[in-house]
Chain A
Amino acid sequence: MQDISLHLLDIIENSVRARARNIKLRVINSPRDNRLRLIVEDDGTGMDQETLAQAQDPFYTSKVERIKKVGLGIPLFKQNAELSAGTFHIASEPGFGTVISVEFPLDHIDRMPLGNLKATLLGAIIGHPEVDYSIFLHYQKPCKEQFFHFETAAIKEELGEIPLTYPDVIEYIDQSLTEGIQNTNMEDV
C-alpha cells in the first residue's frame, strides 16, 4: 500500500465483511500536536482475544473461502505505522464491534502520505449503500480548528428509493467530500 488512505479503505472493507451497519471514521490532522490520527469504529461482529491476536499476524485471515490463508491488511498497516514511529491499536468485543486507532507523527520523514482520502471515502460510501457512515475530519492548529462532519444516513433518508449510484448523487457526495477535505487541509498531508 502506497498511502494511508488505501490502508483506511482496507480497514473499512474488513468492517463491512464483519457485517458492520454503522462505521464511524475520524481523521485528525494536527500540526498542533504533530500528529495524524485515524480512528475507525464499527458495530460488526467483533473478535475474541484469540482472533484479535491472530488478526495482527500476517499468516492469519478470516476469509474462509480463500485457499491462500494469509491476511496482510492489518499487519501491514501496523508495520507502516510503527516504521514511522507511529502507533497502532486495535480493540474488539464479540457482538459489539471493533475500534482501530492509528497515529503517525506528522513530520516523520518515513511517514506515508495520507493520499487520496476522497477516493477512499467515495468508493466506500457508494460501494456499500447498506452501511451508514459517520465521517469526521478535524484540522487542529494552535490558533485555529476546522471541522467537517458527514452523515450518510441523512442523505439516504432524503433520497428515499433513489440509489447512491445515481449520477447526480455521486456528484453531490463527491463535491461535499472535496469541500470537507479542502476545509480541513487533508488534500496534501
Chain B
Amino acid sequence: MKTLADLKKIREKAQEEMKLRGGKVRVKIVVGMGTSGIAMGAREVMKTFLEEISNRNLTDVLVTQTGEKGLSSLEPVVDIIEEGKAAVTYGNMTPDKVRKVVVEHIVNGRVVSEYVVATGS
C-alpha cells in the first residue's frame, strides 16, 4: 500500500536532484486529447510518454494534455516545446513512434523529421 510518507521520500530525493541541476524544465510535451485524438489512440500515446519518463528517469520533462487544434486528420498529435527552439508537432502518433521520439528527440536532441507535421507556433 502506498502512503503519503512515500511521497515525502520522493520529495526529498527530487529536491536533492533539483539543487544539483537547478530544477529547470528542459522539454515540455503536449499531447492533444480532444475527442478525435482520443478516438485515434491519444490515451495510449500519453501512457507511453509517462512510461518512458518513468523508465528512463527523465526528471527535466513535463507532459500535459490539451484539447484539439484542428489537426483532426493527423491525430494523435503531440507538440514538443524546448526553450529557445521552434515547437515541433508530430502527427499520427503511436506508442512505437513515441518511444522513438523520446530516444531521438527528447534524449538526444535530434528531431524525428519523418513524423513531423508542423513546426513553429
Contact = CB atoms under 8 A, between A and B. Distances in A.
B10 A159 contact: yes
B13 interface: yes
Given A127-B65, A128-B64, A170 B50 contact: yes
Top-4 shortest CB links A-B: A127-B65, A123-B46, A158-B7, A73-B35
Interface string A111-144: 0000010011011101111000000000000000
B62 A165 contact: yes
A170 to B, nearest CB: 5
A122 B50 contact: yes
Contact of B10 (A63, A154, A166): A166
A70 to B, nearest CB: 9
A4 to B, nearest CB: 12
Contacts of A100: none
Interface of B: 1-2, 4, 6-8, 10-11, 13-15, 18, 23, 25, 31, 33-35, 38-39, 43-44, 46-47, 50, 53-54, 56-59, 61-65, 67-70, 72
**Best-surrounded residue of B2, B63, B68 (most CB of chain A within 10 A):** B2
8 contacts: A72-B35, A123-B46, A126-B50, A154-B4, A162-B11, A167-B58, A174-B50, A174-B54
A122 B31 CA distance: 14
B54 A167 contact: yes
B6 A172 contact: yes
Contact of A123 (B6, B33, B62): B33
Contacts of B38: 1, 6, 9-10, 13
A124 B68 CA distance: 15
A158 B69 CA distance: 34
A167 B8 CA distance: 14
A60 to B, nearest CB: 13
B33 A126 contact: no
A165 B53 CA distance: 8
A17 interface: yes
A29 to B, nearest CB: 20
A10 B2 CA distance: 28
A50 interface: no
B100 to A, nearest CB: 20
